[in-house]
Structure 1
Amino acid sequence: LSMSCTLVTAHTPTGPTIPLQSVEVELQVKDHVATVISTLNYQNKEDKPVEAVFVFPLPGDAAVCHFSAGIGETHIVAELKGKQQACEEYDDALSSGQQAFLLEESEETPDHFSLSVGNLLPGQSVFIRLEYVTILTVEADNGLRFCLPTVLNPRYQPQGVKKKACLKCVFNIVLPASEVPYSLSFSARVSSPRPVSKVESSCSLEPLQFLNSDHTEAAVKLAAGHKFDRDVELLIYYKDAHQPSAVVEAGQDSAEPGTLMGDPVVMLSLYPEFPESLMSPLATCGEFVFLLDRSGSMGCPASFTSVSLQDTLLLLLKSLPTGSYFNIYGFGSRFSQIFPNSVEYSEETMEEALKKVEGMQSDLGGTDILQPLKYIYSQPFISNLPRQLFILTDGEVENPKEILDLVKRNAGSHRCSFFGIGEGASSVLIHGFKRRNDRTVNVFLTVMQSLKSALEPVVKDISVVWDLPKGVSATVLSPPITTIVRGQRSTIYAQLSGKILSSQTDCSVTLNYTLGNRPFRNQLQFHLNPSKETGLTVHRLAARSLICSLIRSLEVKKRVNRGKSDEDVKKKVVELSVQSGVSSGHTAFIAVNKDSGDAVQGPLMHGEIPRLGEIFWHLNCSPDLKIVKDKIIVAKVFIFLFFLDPLLQLQKASGCWLLDEGLPSVLGKTSEEVEKSKPAEVSSEVWATILALTWLHGFKMDAKDEWELLAVKAASWVQAQNGNMSFHFIYYDSTCALKCSGLFVSNQYLT
């Protein structure tokens, strides 16, 4: 269970006791692939046997590939079986007094897992080992991001304790981070063909240690004294990070040739290059539709993100190019819209929208994005304007699989970006939309990067061509590439069939696409030399990708067949999951300790697994919740909002600023100083806009990615007012005397 700074326990007659004693996490990163090994140590401090149930998140595209448990000297490796069979074996084991462990993935949301520990005896200790592999996301600043949630907070029922009827009754004790009684150790080892530049974190780390002279291997640990007030977030930076790569992995010796696990599998990572001349940030106008979360959690006093959403929307609106259309929807259990239809972007419509956004309340109930999406997709298009959707939410959404399916069906006509702000957002949608889960500090940067991408020309006519030796064929296991965005990785998995000779090493894959009505091709050459040293990581990631594709097709067929499931596809999912050892919504890991001695006597209470969204609603709105924020993070947010937000408020929709609406005070000058320094031949609006641009370049270069679109629009407006006359950056000296020195003098500042 991911929370920023709290631990919640079940309430028992003897007070809160927590069986989780310690968490040990080992992270192994090879290039952009992460293997995560977590060991969790529990002890039952009750005087009765308990069944502990833990609900926790994992990345939506993670391939869970190992689960084992240890009690005393006994170590049990779990088997992956069909979910119904695994659950029946678990229940049978508990009924017969045996100790059992069940790890299952939610069929509704694949980023939710539950771990059941059954018949844990009084005073008994047990450890659980969980392993998964995942692809690390690339951030806007080219860092690879790994996030370890503040995890595995328990809900459990001792024998003889009456089952709670309400989730809020179960989670009724909130502990501050300083009182969390379990420890966390975290270590990471990073290796890559390219040197590691640096490793940063939201938490304190020990100094980075390079393990070789060329800095391609490094290790780092979490510093002692970690407080449980935030997720452990790691950002890994390589030199020349955006380099295409190919990994060819040999099949499993024990697996049958011709099967996924028996044949070699290749993973291709592609980074298409786009000419800068075609990627002007104001090259494309469009219809921009913003979906803003107005669910109950947005109004919670403890929610630090409620201000951020409105500020983010302000930044987006101010950055839109002239000639565009826009509309804003608020959603919860129901939805509403500011305008009946999208309206042309102007000073009047922007001001009207901002006033209505300021008056919005968090009064629309739950977090249902599906219905407004269906409505938006049904609306007619505005001629020659592509439609761009931006979804901003801080919560766990309803029916994420249906949402992803709907978005994918409309991907040919709509671009859609999802921003999950805070710890409660759905990682299924974050990974499905290839967007990250943002903290308040980074949300401005991320949404502006997405807006820049939305304003770039659309990549069309995408195709992939394989050039393989004679007798070797490739079966693509991942979904076809339908969208290419600058700065984002495109990953392809393929099973290689046929006889691969040692002399047949040279292969290539060519990515063809059209951009700005011009054809482009990116070719990646690689050696067909399968490696056995990757631990089947590529096979498991490929299996997970194929499993997700099959489950999506299963959902589509179920909808077409009016609720009737396709048993053949379901059977194929189970077979592939069991064969590869990768979990799915239709399988579960089961481990039974058949050597536990005397059977545990008496009935054991079985509790329901709570939905994560409901837990977050209760946690965030608890009056006892104590939010503890890192001082540096808060300082960065404050500086950005305090100094840049007033400047945003003053900018007009056209891109200009006015000289008499509070601008001098934002710049730290008096109106008289600003007026006195204005050249006679320059209008007040042009002068005000030049000063605002100068201030941004002089004092806010560290936030350039956030305000770059604002500045481009403003500079274009200035140039339009003066015909062929070029204006360069102008700066003040200490006496406010104006110095004009040609086009945009670099490295000069307001003093």
Structure 2
Amino acid sequence: MEELAGAAEAPPAPAVPADTVALTSRMAPRALNIPTTHVGQTSRFTFDGYHRGWFARTRGGLQHLLTPIYGGGKVYVGGGFSSHQVFAYDARTGESEWTASAPDGGPSAAILEDGKILFNTESCTLFAVDADTGRQRWSRWLGDPLMSQPAAANGLVFSGHLIDGQSPGGLEAGTTGWGTGDGRRYGFTALALGNGAPRWSIPVDGDVMNAPILMDGDAYFTTMRGTVYRVDQRTGRVRWRRRVHATSAPWIHHDEVHVTVRRREALEGERQVVERAVVLAKANGRTEREHDPVPAAYVAGRPDPDVQRGWRYEGSRATVIEGRAYQTIGNEVHCRDAESGELLWRRRYTNDTRSRPASPPAVAGSQLVFGTQDGHLFGLDIDTGMTAWAYDVGEPIAAQPTVGHGWVYASTARGGVVGLEVSDVSFDGWHMWGGNAQHNGRVLATEPPAEEDERPSEGTLQLNEEPRDEEIAGFPLQGTRVHADVSGFVARVRVEQTFQNPYDRAVEAVYLFPLPDDAAVDAMEMRAGDRVVRAQIHRRQEARERYEDARERGVLASLLEQERPNLFRQSVANIRPGDAIRVTLHYTQVLPYEEGSYRFVYPMVAGARYQPEQGASDDAPTRQVVLAPGGERPDRVEVTIDADVGAELRGVRSPTHEIEVERRGRAAHVSLAEAAAPDRDLDVRFAIAGEAPTVSVLASPPEEGERGHFSLALHPRLNVPEDEVMPREVVFVVDTSSSMHGRPMELAKAAMQRALGGLRPTDTFRVLSFSDTTSALSDAALPASEENLSRARRFVDEMRALGATEMLRGVRAALEPEAEDGRMRVVLLMTDGFIGNETEVFREVHQRLGQSRVFGFGVGSAVNRYLLTRLAEVGRGDVQVVTLDESPEAAADRFHERIASPYLTDLRVDWGDLEVQGAYPRRLPDLYADGPLVVHGRYASGGRGEITIRGRLAGRPFTQRVSVSLPSEGEARPELGSVWARTRIRDLMTAMTLQPSPPLERQVTDLALAHHILTPYTRFVAVDSAAERRERAVREVAPEETSPSTRPEQDTSGPVLACYEQARDEEGVVDPEALADCLAAL
């Protein structure tokens, strides 16, 4: 054993960049608005639109908690220094799974190894409990007090401890208790992981700081006296030790040991306490280099001036991953090259260095995650240090967070545990303090937890509680009726679904269903037995409170929420035994126009959504998180459509279902030939005879004090020589994830082969595929030669559907680097599109788009139309969907026709003398071929005028003028107000996707309340008014008036019964005032 002391000899001069960027310069932490959560309770909420979160307050009270563990679908955390408990929570909902109680207090941060949760308690004992149940497997007294957390590897558990009369190993005991004397003695012990039997013990000069670090058969640790040790795991032999006044546990990287040390030295003209990152040689512990000092007034003479502070100490430990060292030190975050020590970037998050301001960082995926004493959680890009996301938890965070399958988990200094869904499942690997049970790196290749409840694929009710014995787990769906009235290019749709409560008790149920991604849901009602409950729109928290209050009082109530733009959730409380439940929803949507047809699409399948687990008690969705396809369902869907598109029809057809069509002049009545199984989306196409009208206007005239609303579709007439087409770089991006297996993959390959054949000789192209990794045909764009096309066809043939849907990587690869000058890049994305991180994909496209265009190409019978539509919108392209019954070759031909045809860019509309206001979308899309420009707006008064469309056609200025008439009076069409409001909300939500904004959120909320639109910030709530009046009547009638002698069930005398009958209203509810008057007159 070699024992060394002293400072480094002539460490190299540090390289410090001149600029230090403020951490919040790009993005300030966004408040999460976590509901008030009392001790022993969990609250769930949503944030950033559709991301889930939960917050639990442990039963230990408002105590400083240490780093939580993630594993096996659970989150584990000790209750604090004064607590005797360890808690397990469901990782996705925060619901309590189990509580383990120990006779000793102060559970340390724990580890998960071999199905066991292992933790020390401050007052002396190492415990092993079953990770699934919390039952104790074994325990072993180590010494009192005990501040180290354990580490495990190779069938052994390691921990430091004070030596007393009961400590293992037969080492000489010192004084016990706590003081400043030198009479205490300390040991380092190895135990058998299986049963806790002692293997060996050695004396050391202090308790272990944080935890031992296990690597390559050795254990490394720092003691509270600042000494770094290297010890053989098998024998306990000390290979070397070095006292360097270390203030952190070590990190082992290749042949180096990274630690942080405390010094007092001159800095900025005065002598002060500083911390330095120091690198020791793994072989002998000698100092190899030191990095620049950082002011650290918060560092005490030793980390354990008292037991409690020593127990919770973490220090400025570096995290070294893939050749880079990341560290929160002083008031900054540093990233260095681990080999050279070069400082690559640094970010400052506070100017106050009097207390340790931030936790050590966790590294997962491409992000660095840490918490601060200000209660903020940050996610930084590991390459640039730029803030990827930041949230305000509202309570100090001192312990290192953990990251598991898209979620970040952090504990607070006030007894709280928070879980936030910030990314997709590839964002994973930091499951406990130090990453893994050896405390020196990421956990690799773990499976995400299976979401316990399957989401129904479309419109089913499920119990929101455990069914009793011999009860089924859901509500049988009796049937679905859909009716659409199509006027022009706008559809007003009514969806009615009927269920039967088969239970002998009242229950609460959950009803989940998909709708078109652009649907403006603006009305809902529910019928239960003979009762009708109509919903009102409220702010989300107010709606939740009304619903929960009615639920607690036993009153029939319902709550309608938007989980995603194309997925909605209905909760129904207090449904009586045997009641039939009929839920009716109303929504409005604009029909897309393509290839001379208007398309009506009704989604019947929500699809299997991959949550790249990567955008209340208030409002959390329940555990139903993954959309999983089930077996064949017995229920059927009936659909009828009455359509007048404002022009003569050439024909009506459906590529998905057999339909019956009855022509009524230029109108048509459409129905399914027979009720359909809900196993694929319904697609009905209304083909226009001849060319579509140059302009189509639908309007609702102004009413007193209110503006009118209009929707306008323009079909510009384009004439340009065919040879005036800009050269192109075409990038094909194919989703090869598991969800594309089978027929969708076949369609994608067939479409790709056809699309490759449609390239022009002057084109260049690239081919990419993505699942959980990204593959490319070539590093750069290739000329569309026969040789290169043959290579591409072989590449496509070899594609296999396997892995997760990491779309973000594929999109990023497609859009970088920039296209060659003089060429327009066109990206074609082929996918079913069911991911959980749509927001991140939209943001990526927006930031990298430049002059490129992105087209969405949906493949399959049930695709995520929301993602594809928004992707094309942000990418200024277009979208089309190929169902399983359609020709992928024809779809590929349509794509080439669109990008080959002249198209209008840089569009804008001059409304002339028309008093138009608030026209949306504000950013008008490019127009391809015969695609229309659809604009929704408001106007103050009617009139006729000329509007001018301006843009660029094949690079040249384009102008077209058309005459438009807006009515000043006539029949009101409130659905047009809904469409306008929904379009404006969509614009505002797009802005918030790129940068959260409380003022914009308020605008969305106010707009939704005014127009009765369901959004992430508003909800429909319905409470049975008849039941409320009954309850009020019982409360308000004086006790003597409802005594046994006067209650009709007890007193059958004529006068009393007459009073009750006289006081009933048309719904049979007793008016308390009328009853009181009548009874008083007896």
Name the TM-score, length of structure 1 as normaliser. Answer: 0.68
Q: Residue 811 of structure 2 is aligned with which of 338, 358, 373?
A: 373
Residues 160-215 of structure 1 show CA distances to partners (whole Å, capped at 9, x for unaligned) of xxx998978x969x443xxx33343221111133223322124665642233xxx1
CA distance in 2, matches of 1:4, 1:102: 20
In the TM superposition, what is the alpha-carbon distance from 1:123 to its structure 2 partner? Answer: 1.0
Q: Say if 1:478 and 1:542, in contact at 8 Å, map to a contact too.
A: no
In the TM superposition, what is the alpha-carbon distance from 1:121 to its structure 2 partner? Answer: 2.3
- Residue 663 of structure 2 is matched in structure 1 by 210
1:294 and 2:726 matched: no
- Residue 486 of structure 1 is matched in structure 2 by 929
Q: Residue 952 of structure 2 is aligned with which of 495, 511, 514?
A: 514
For 1:223-622, list aligned pairs within 5 A: 223-240=673-690, 242-243=692-693, 244-253=695-704, 257=705, 262-275=706-719, 277-279=720-722, 283-299=725-741, 303-363=742-802, 365-409=803-847, 412-432=850-870, 433=872, 434-440=878-884, 441-457=886-902, 459-468=904-913, 472-497=915-940, 500=942, 505-558=943-996, 566-596=997-1027
Largest Rg, 1 or 2:
2
Quick one: which amino acid aligns to residue 553 of structure 1? Answer: A
CA distance in 1, matches of 2:535, 2:882: 35
CA distance in 1, matches of 2:936, 2:825: 30
Q: How many equivalent pairs are there? A: 553
In the TM superposition, what is the alpha-carbon distance from 1:576 to its structure 2 partner? Answer: 0.2
More off after superposition, 449-458 vs 573-582: 449-458
Q: Say if 1:415 and 1:454, in contact at 8 Å, map to a contact too.
A: no
Residues 690-727 of structure 1 show CA distances to partners (whole Å, capped at 9, x for unaligned) of xxxxxxxxxxxxxxxxxxxxxxxxxxxxxxxxxxxxxx
- Residue 124 of structure 1 is matched in structure 2 by 579
Q: Say if 2:737 and 2:772, in contact at 8 Å, map to a contact too.
A: yes
In the TM superposition, what is the alpha-carbon distance from 1:15 to its structure 2 partner? Answer: 4.5
In the TM superposition, what is the alpha-carbon distance from 1:531 to its structure 2 partner? Answer: 5.0
Residues 237-287 of structure 1 show CA distances to partners (whole Å, capped at 9, x for unaligned) of 23235212122322455xxx3xxxx20122221112222x5345x944311
In structure 2, the CA distance between the partners of 1:320 and 1:204, relative to structure 1 (3 Å rule), is closer
In the TM superposition, what is the alpha-carbon distance from 1:32 to its structure 2 partner? Answer: 1.2
For 1:109-148, list aligned pairs within 5 A: 109-140=564-595, 142-148=596-602
Q: Residue 149 of structure 1 is aligned with which of 594, 603, 606?
A: 603
In the TM superposition, what is the alpha-carbon distance from 1:520 to its structure 2 partner? Answer: 2.6
CA distance in 2, matches of 1:218, 1:166: 40
SS at match of 2:946: strand
CA distance in 1, matches of 2:674, 2:577: 31
CA distance in 1, matches of 2:458, 2:1008: 35
CA distance in 2, matches of 1:146, 1:64: 16
- Residue 551 of structure 2 is matched in structure 1 by 94
In the TM superposition, what is the alpha-carbon distance from 1:519 to its structure 2 partner? Answer: 3.0
Quick one: which amino acid aligns to residue 248 of structure 1? Answer: A
Q: Residue 36 of structure 1 is aligned with which of 493, 504, 523?
A: 493
CA distance in 2, matches of 1:119, 1:350: 63
In structure 2, the CA distance between the partners of 1:423 and 1:119, relative to structure 1 (3 Å rule), is farther
In structure 2, the CA distance between the partners of 1:39 and 1:488, relative to structure 1 (3 Å rule), is same
Q: Say if 2:832 and 2:858, in contact at 8 Å, map to a contact too.
A: yes
Task: Flag the structure with more relative contact order, 1 or 2, with Cα contacts below 8 A and sequence separation at least 6.
Answer: 1
- Residue 13 of structure 2 is matched in structure 1 by none
- Residue 646 of structure 1 is matched in structure 2 by none
Quick one: which amino acid aligns to residue 569 of structure 2? Answer: S
CA distance in 2, matches of 1:77, 1:427: 30
CA distance in 1, matches of 2:711, 2:738: 42
Structure 2: 5+ residue runs without aligned partners?
1-453, 608-620, 873-877, 1032-1082
SS at match of 1:278: coil
For 1:599-748, list aligned pairs within 5 A: none
- Residue 194 of structure 1 is matched in structure 2 by 647
In the TM superposition, what is the alpha-carbon distance from 1:6 to its structure 2 partner? Answer: 12
Quick one: which amino acid aligns to residue 468 of structure 1? Answer: D
Quick one: which amino acid aligns to residue 148 of structure 1? Answer: Y
Quick one: which amino acid aligns to residue 451 of structure 1? Answer: H
Residues 293-325 of structure 1 show CA distances to partners (whole Å, capped at 9, x for unaligned) of 0111123xxx32111111111111111111322
Quick one: which amino acid aligns to residue 452 of structure 1? Answer: E
In the TM superposition, what is the alpha-carbon distance from 1:393 to its structure 2 partner? Answer: 0.6
In the TM superposition, what is the alpha-carbon distance from 1:457 to its structure 2 partner? Answer: 4.6
In the TM superposition, what is the alpha-carbon distance from 1:8 to its structure 2 partner? Answer: 11
Residues 411-442 of structure 1 show CA distances to partners (whole Å, capped at 9, x for unaligned) of 55011100111234221123322423320314
In the TM superposition, what is the alpha-carbon distance from 1:475 to its structure 2 partner? Answer: 3.2
In structure 2, the CA distance between the partners of 1:556 and 1:171, relative to structure 1 (3 Å rule), is closer
In the TM superposition, what is the alpha-carbon distance from 1:479 to its structure 2 partner? Answer: 2.1
In structure 2, the CA distance between the partners of 1:536 and 1:542, relative to structure 1 (3 Å rule), is same
Q: Residue 27 of structure 1 is aligned with which of 463, 476, 484?
A: 484
Quick one: which amino acid aligns to residue 910 of structure 2? Answer: V
Quick one: which amino acid aligns to residue 500 of structure 2? Answer: Q
- Residue 154 of structure 2 is matched in structure 1 by none
CA distance in 2, matches of 1:535, 1:165: 39
Quick one: which amino acid aligns to residue 818 of structure 2? Answer: P
CA distance in 2, matches of 1:30, 1:353: 46
Structure 1: 5+ residue runs without aligned partners?
154-162, 559-565, 600-751
- Residue 51 of structure 1 is matched in structure 2 by 508
SS at match of 1:468: coil
Instruction: Percent identity, please.
Output: 22
Quick one: which amino acid aligns to residue 831 of structure 2? Answer: T
In structure 2, the CA distance between the partners of 1:206 and 1:399, relative to structure 1 (3 Å rule), is closer
Quick one: which amino acid aligns to residue 123 of structure 1? Answer: G
In structure 2, the CA distance between the partners of 1:454 and 1:409, relative to structure 1 (3 Å rule), is farther
Quick one: which amino acid aligns to residue 977 of structure 2? Answer: H
Quick one: which amino acid aligns to residue 697 of structure 2? Answer: A
Q: Say if 1:271 and 1:489, in contact at 8 Å, map to a contact too.
A: yes
Q: Say if 1:47 and 1:123, in contact at 8 Å, map to a contact too.
A: yes
Q: Say if 1:285 and 1:321, in contact at 8 Å, map to a contact too.
A: no
CA distance in 2, matches of 1:166, 1:135: 30
- Residue 661 of structure 1 is matched in structure 2 by none
Residues 628-676 of structure 1 show CA distances to partners (whole Å, capped at 9, x for unaligned) of xxxxxxxxxxxxxxxxxxxxxxxxxxxxxxxxxxxxxxxxxxxxxxxxx
In structure 2, the CA distance between the partners of 1:75 and 1:252, relative to structure 1 (3 Å rule), is farther
SS at match of 2:734: strand
CA distance in 2, matches of 1:443, 1:6: 30
Structure with more strand by fraction? 2
Name the TM-score, length of structure 2 as normaliser. Answer: 0.48
SS at match of 1:310: helix
